[in-house]
Chains A and B, each alone.
Chain A
Amino acid sequence: MTRRARRRAFLRWLAATGLTLPALPALHAFADNHAAPTDLDVFLAALLQQLFPHPALDAAVYGQGGQILAGAADADPGLRGLIVAGWAALDAAGDGPWLDRSPGARRAVLEASVDTPFFQVVRGLGGLIFYSLPEVWALVGYQGPSFEKGGYLARGFDDIDWLPEPEHGD
């Protein structure tokens, strides 16, 4: 499957996530880590930082997320159009480009746009992408794939120590 086809398939998956049981993306598989960031990458990285601000994370992590989200937009003209138009609206709502404003000013404009399709799409899709980055997994305490490590049987699957032992049910 080509990268483009994989992205398309991935977008179909994203469309389905509102209903599926746990099926999480390892989106780093879609990242193109070696390309220079485009303006859209930079904008989306700044947007992700506003949406999901984790003080302990390096800016490069948001950069990676921005690139993946931009890649998804490359594969879907409708998504790209929505993002570009949303970006223009953020720029128009205030003085000067949104990217040049203070974090507080950026946030204020976003707060006024939460009901727009643009915001809802970048929030939903951006969250799935961002919270699939291994660096973010490490931050939140998710350990990810386990087959190669023999599962969690010997790695704490039952190590909770602050609850009473359950009895077998009747």
Chain B
Amino acid sequence: MAIELDDTGAVVIVGSGAGGGTLAGELCARGVRVVLLEAGPRIPSSEFRNDEAFAFQQLSWRDPRQATGTWATARLSPDTPAWMVKAVGGSTLHWNGLSYRIQPREFRARTEYGAIDDANLADWPLSAEELDPYYSAAEKRLGVTGTHGIPAHPPNNNFRVLAAGARRIGYRQVANDRQAINSEPRDGRPACLQLGFCNQGCRIDAKWTAANSEVPRAERTGRLDLRPGAMALTITVNEKGRVDGVIYSDSEGRRQRQRARVVCVAGNAIETPRVLLNSATAAWPDGLANSSGQVGRNYMHHVAALAFAVFERPVHMHRGITVPGTVFDESGHDPARGFAGGYLMEAAAAGPAFLSALIDPGGWGPDFAALMERYDHMAGVLLNGEDLPREDNRVSLHSSAKDQHGLPIPVVHVDEHTNDVAMREHFFRQVRRLYEAVGAVDVRDPLPLSSAHNLGTCRMSAKSGDGVVNRFGQTHDIDNLFVSDGSQFTTSSSENPTLTIVALALRQAEYLAGELGRRNL
């Protein structure tokens, strides 16, 4: 349905990914009218290609950004701090589908880990028990394998190598379920055919995305006004101190203002704080809803790295689901290892080109060529570990560089904590043991990676001075302004974030619809 620009009754959501897309789907189902602003285009799945260079250009957010700090990203790709999607469905188009719940103890990171120097740890103002029903609803909604009677996928070659090595060295928690990829037809989408291109937009829609599930769900209600190509620039505030609209650049490049009853920001943890910071006014000199000074701070991205091993016999890691399963044995908090928090070991594949940049950085000549000729004998594993929030790891506005809309570009600054480094080194040691236990002849330690997980820049807190939003994602400062994406995360946990983003969106939708119904908003 079309909602007029001067209609003051709708909820305006910025961003159509896991958070914003799900929120739109659930709010519309609850009878709320929604304007959904999405900076990117709407891309039919039939236009996805099994071609990673093409897919990168087709899907990626490539607006100018800057990475600074001690993390490898600032050195290796200073213009691209993170890999995100700019399209309807957001980064659910390239996500791997891993749908893990945050562990109960991880919601209490400050209590469990104690004070850690140079970290800004806090407990979530929310428990696993409170989130449990929303996790269950999210699993049902996404069709997560291993939940609600949905079978797991058959394990592919790459996972089978990881699983066998894990058991050889005594690991016991090895699983290839909990994926939002259909193992049988469900929700109008087919079963997975093991294409091996999960990150390029699932061509057959076996993988849940906000684009193939949530946006259509919202549209079927007749209450959604989806606007692709609409880049939110600033959020406006009325004389009563409440937000009342969003100024955006539409698909024709024209500046528009959509009036709003409520604004929910879900632009990913780089763009969400950016739009709040860019919305500074005389009343909000440090950025909208930023009385705490925490908007943009505590940026987290997971401790990430990819390791590869060569075997005597073929593996063919590229066949099938890109990230097919995980070892959980290192996901606990065990300070004896020399670091706080835990990590997951997720089987992961890469093609030869990407591998050439990772497996032996700077390597060349006959030995390197011989190594690359063993491509089909390789297995790979991804580190996904908890990184610690730090106040100075933050998204801020560049002092001079502007984007195509004339707004300051975001600067993402990360100085690695010693905890991150210790965790990564532990992972490398364990990976070497694991793969050598099943006959690896060569295990390579790669460069650290930035992951695609952006978290924490408008974090949830019990007290208004410690964070930006409350336990429902509602900003402490402005009651009709919400944050609806991974920016809310108080800590990163060791799990992939999407299932939690979806669960929080479902919970927020329930709360928001209730508050609207009670006319509190």
A66 to chain B, nearest CB (A): 16
B9 to chain A, nearest CB (A): 40
Q: Does B417 contact A (CB under 8 A)?
A: no
List of B residues within 8 angstroms of A123 by Cβ = 362, 364
Bound CA–CA A28/B373 (angstroms): 20
Q: Which among A31-39, A77-85, A90-98, A160-168 touches the partner chain? A: A160-168
Partner among B164, B195, B306, B314 whose Cβ is within 8 Å of the Cβ of A146: B195
Partner among B77, B160, B313, B382 whose Cβ is within 8 Å of the Cβ of A158: B160
| Chain A interface size, under 10 / 10 to 19 / 20 to 34 / 35 or more | 35 or more
Determine if A23 and B83 form an interchain contact, defined as CB atoms under 8 angstroms apart.
yes
Bound CA–CA A60/B461 (angstroms): 61
List of B residues within 8 angstroms of A146 by Cβ = 50, 193-197, 319
Q: Which residues 171-219 in B have Cβ within 8 Å of A in the complex?
A: 172-177, 192-197, 199-200, 203-204
List of B residues within 8 angstroms of A163 by Cβ = 160-161, 164, 438
Most buried by B among A6, A22, A54: A22
Contact with A along B442-479 (1 / 0, CB 8 A): 00000101111000000000000000000000000000
List of B residues within 8 angstroms of A157 by Cβ = 154, 156-157, 194, 196, 316, 319-320
Q: Which residues 129-162 in A have Cβ within 8 Å of B in the complex?
A: 129-132, 136-137, 139-148, 150-153, 155-160, 162
Q: Which residues 298-352 in B have Cβ within 8 Å of A in the complex?
A: 306, 313-316, 318-320, 322, 328, 348-352
Bound CA–CA A71/B91 (angstroms): 31
> Taking chain B's interface residues, is the majority helix, strand, or loop, or is none over half, making it mixed?
loop
Contact with A along B359-389 (1 / 0, CB 8 A): 0001011101100111111000010000000
List of B residues within 8 angstroms of A23 by Cβ = 52-53, 55-56, 83, 199-200, 354
List of B residues within 8 angstroms of A124 by Cβ = 357
Q: For residue B324, which residue of chain A has the nearest CB? A: A157
Q: Decide: A166 near B155, CB < 8 A? Known: A157-B194, A158-B320.
A: yes
Determine if B357 and A27 form an interchain contact, defined as CB atoms under 8 angstroms apart.
no
List of B residues within 8 angstroms of A86 by Cβ = none
Bound CA–CA A52/B67 (angstroms): 31
B231 to chain A, nearest CB (A): 18
Q: Which residues 1-29 in A have Cβ within 8 Å of B in the complex?
A: 6, 9-10, 12-13, 15-27, 29
Determine if B83 and A21 form an interchain contact, defined as CB atoms under 8 angstroms apart.
yes
Q: Does A105 contact B (CB under 8 A)?
A: no
List of B residues within 8 angstroms of A114 by Cβ = 362, 364
18 A–B pairs (Cβ distance < 8 Å), ordered by A: A12-B62, A13-B57, A16-B83, A19-B76, A19-B80, A19-B83, A24-B352, A51-B364, A52-B372, A127-B357, A142-B375, A147-B50, A147-B195, A151-B194, A151-B196, A158-B160, A159-B157, A168-B176
Residues of A within 8 A of B (CB): 6, 9-10, 12-13, 15-27, 29, 50-54, 107, 110, 114, 120, 123-124, 127-132, 136-137, 139-148, 150-153, 155-160, 162-170
Residues of B within 8 A of A (CB): 49-57, 60, 62, 72-73, 76-77, 79-83, 96, 152, 154-157, 159-161, 163-164, 167, 172-177, 192-197, 199-200, 203-204, 306, 313-316, 318-320, 322, 328, 348-357, 362, 364-366, 368-369, 372-377, 382, 438, 447, 449-452
